[in-house]
Structure 1
Amino acid sequence: MSDAPDQTAITRAFVLAAGLGKRMRPITATVPKPLVEVAGKALIDHALDRAAEGGITEAVVNIHWLADQMEGHLLHRSGRPAITISDEREALLETGGGVKKALALFGTEPFVVFNSDSFWLEGPKPNLSRLIAGWDPEAMDILLLVAPTATSLGYDGAGDFFMDSDSRLAWRGEREVAPFIYAGVAILRPELFADTPDGSFSLTMLFARAIERERCYGLRLDGQWLHVGTPEAIAAAETRVKESASAS
């Protein structure tokens, strides 16, 4: 990673909040996953509050599943970031297609993409601030926040990435176990979407292209990533939050 990161502030974000939350059922039969509460606050509010703390002033949030609930909740938020809703009621566009639909709102500058269920315990310095400070437009097309697979609470998969000494990322092989998992926050260039399909597609397409060009980098999360993917994971995450609060 370059020693001369870009000094231009990144102040816009896209928050992915349109998914069906199938693994969180039966809760998500009646409540959209971003509105599921952990430690007394909806997951999307955890994400938006982190965005505000990191200097994000404008956020686009896409909605699809139980969209009226999502819209009502977002309209009652106050303070930063200012929210624009990207309505996907007619068709779910996946992660890449959802961002592309709203791309005109971001201009030509890099922006942050958040999964609405991105949830972690902070280390000494906020991770979004670290990610933005680490962005280097000369070297990078994408910068991902990645968490150590071994210490992530509620995650039992094989990981996503290997990271070299320069912080470049590479996918794990089919039968490999990788030391890092995507923590659900990234910085992307808008021009990456120029040669992408219309309609539904995944952001992993852009990750793969950037990895092939050796322009996809990672920043190791400082703290602990909490994977809130199932109803059972909510209680485990809340216990860990309480433990962290009592220890601080």
Structure 2
Amino acid sequence: MKALILAAGRGERMRPLTDRVPKPLLSVGGKPLIVWHLERLAGIGVREVVINTSWLADQFEPALGDGRQWRLTLSYSYEGPEPLETGGGMLRALDLLGHEAPFIAVNGDVWSDFDPALLPRQPTGEAHLVLVDNPAHNPEGDFSLDGTGVLSIDGPNRMTFAGIGVYRPSLLADWNTVIGAPDSAVEARPRFPLAPILRHAMRTGAVTGEHHRGQWTDVGTPQRLAELDASLSR
């Protein structure tokens, strides 16, 4: 199984730290955020990882190399000077991930003790997402998880998407129709978010999920970065 680490964002809320270093390369607990992901993915037998890049893209390969130190093969999906958002970035990376088999995708700017070995290798629908209890910065949550493991948009007890999941490439097959982009407007590097695609799939019950009750941090501010670093360093 292959994996994608989403690492192209500008990291505006992390400035000035991200003026010189891309957010996934910021260190916590003695190593870059992205290395935590690479180690966990390698630990469950993933051997090929694609990293999408844009902002300060030239820093990733010197920092991570070709992945052999983790027994991985790393490929880089460069999106150009402007990131293509989560949906556009994932669509572009399919040329490296493949257009048939499901793949793991992880946001490069989160940290969690979630074990990716728990993820299904063959999701029953188009995607399977990990949810966590709502943090203070997202009190309303994102999606609702019912007793059968199916996600919905408006159900009770909404939780927060952890930025960890398994996806089928077919989720993106009709992306332009879902977001209302006519064929004539589709560019070579389309830029669009993933959330509308997921919500569309949820309307037909095609997205499942699970609740992770362990540790998780969206490293979205310098304060959260410092708190996580102190916790891991202890």
Instruction: Report TM bin, short chain.
Output: 0.7 to 0.9
Change (3 A) 1:40 1:172: farther
Deviation of 1:222 after TM superposition, in Å, equals: 4.2
| Aligned counterpart, 1:21 | 11
Q: Is the 8 A contact 1:111 1:189 kept in 2?
A: yes
Secondary structure in structure 2 of the residue aligned to 1:223: coil
Q: Is the 8 A contact 1:15 1:114 kept in 2?
A: yes
1:163 aligns with 2:155: no
CA distance in 2, matches of 1:242, 1:85: 30
Deviation of 1:227 after TM superposition, in Å, equals: 2.2
Select the residue among 47, 57, 61 that pairs with 2:47.
57
Structure 1 unaligned regions, length at least 5: 1-10, 244-248
Secondary structure in structure 2 of the residue aligned to 1:226: strand
**Counterparts of 1:131-210 in structure 2 under 5 Å?**
131-132=119-120, 135-136=122-123, 139-149=124-134, 152=135, 155-172=137-154, 178-197=157-176, 198=186, 199-210=190-201
Deviation of 1:91 after TM superposition, in Å, equals: 3.5
Letter in 2 for 1:49: E
1:228 aligns with 2:213: no
CA distance in 1, matches of 2:172, 2:95: 11
1:129 aligns with 2:117: yes
Letter in 1 for 2:117: S
| Aligned counterpart, 1:80 | 71
1:139-168: CA deviations, max 9, x gaps? Answer: 31110011122xx5x645321121110011
Letter in 1 for 2:173: A
| Aligned counterpart, 2:111 | 119
CA distance in 1, matches of 2:216, 2:171: 27
Q: Is the 8 A contact 1:163 1:169 kept in 2?
A: yes
CA distance in 1, matches of 2:212, 2:130: 6
CA distance in 2, matches of 1:121, 1:113: 16
Deviation of 1:171 after TM superposition, in Å, equals: 2.1
Letter in 1 for 2:47: T
Deviation of 1:206 after TM superposition, in Å, equals: 2.0
Deviation of 1:223 after TM superposition, in Å, equals: 1.5
Change (3 A) 1:56 1:208: same
CA distance in 1, matches of 2:14, 2:117: 30
Change (3 A) 1:156 1:101: closer
CA distance in 1, matches of 2:71, 2:125: 28
Secondary structure in structure 1 of the residue aligned to 2:38: helix
| Aligned counterpart, 1:239 | 230
TM-score of the two chains, using structure 1 as the length reference: 0.81
CA distance in 2, matches of 1:39, 1:241: 5
After TM superposition, the structure 1 stretch with the greater mean CA deviation from structure 2, 54-63 or 233-242, is: 233-242
Could you tell me the percent identity over the aligned residues? 36
Change (3 A) 1:132 1:53: farther
Letter in 1 for 2:222: P
| Aligned counterpart, 1:31 | 21
TM-score of the two chains, using structure 2 as the length reference: 0.86
1:112-142: CA deviations, max 9, x gaps? Answer: 11101221134xxx2x111136x44xx3111
Deviation of 1:76 after TM superposition, in Å, equals: 6.2
